[in-house]
Amino acid sequence: MKKHIWLTFDLSIYSDYEGMYYWLDTMKAKECGDSTATFDFEYKSDLIIELTEAIKNNVKLEKKDRIYIIFMTKDGTLKGKFIFGKRRDAPWTGLASESEDDIA
């Protein structure tokens, strides 16, 4: 089976960028902005497991590295999932909150 994937990666400064870029090149991935790519991925039975293994076999990941994928499910909805790492607080969290000085 084949699935179209969008992949974002947040790697630490000493991470294996060369391995990631090489693997993305073998996937014929297209660039979609900083640390974002899109490509078709061939798998046999389980997309998440097989994609995770393919990355592990080609990229040396560090403890704080994160990889997030977005793909279309069989019913046509988009799904996103961290396959390495987890969600963090966003850098913009709290910036839109009103301070006491802003309240009239």
Residue with tokens 């660039």: 31
Tens of pLDDT, residues 6-24: 999 999 999 999 999 999 9
Q: HSE on the CB side for 18, CA within 13 Å?
A: 1
Structure pTM? 0.87
Q: What are phi and psi of 45, to 5 degrees?
A: -140, -35
Contact 23, 58 (CB under 8 A): yes
- CA 54 to CA 62: how far, in whole Å? 16
* Fold of the CATH domain 2-84: Alpha-Beta Plaits (3.30.70)
Per-residue pLDDT of 51-80, as tens digits, reads 999 999 999 999 999 999 999 999 999 999
The pLDDT assigned to 101 comes to 60
User: Minimal CA–CA distance to 41: which of 53, 55, 56, 51?
Assistant: 51
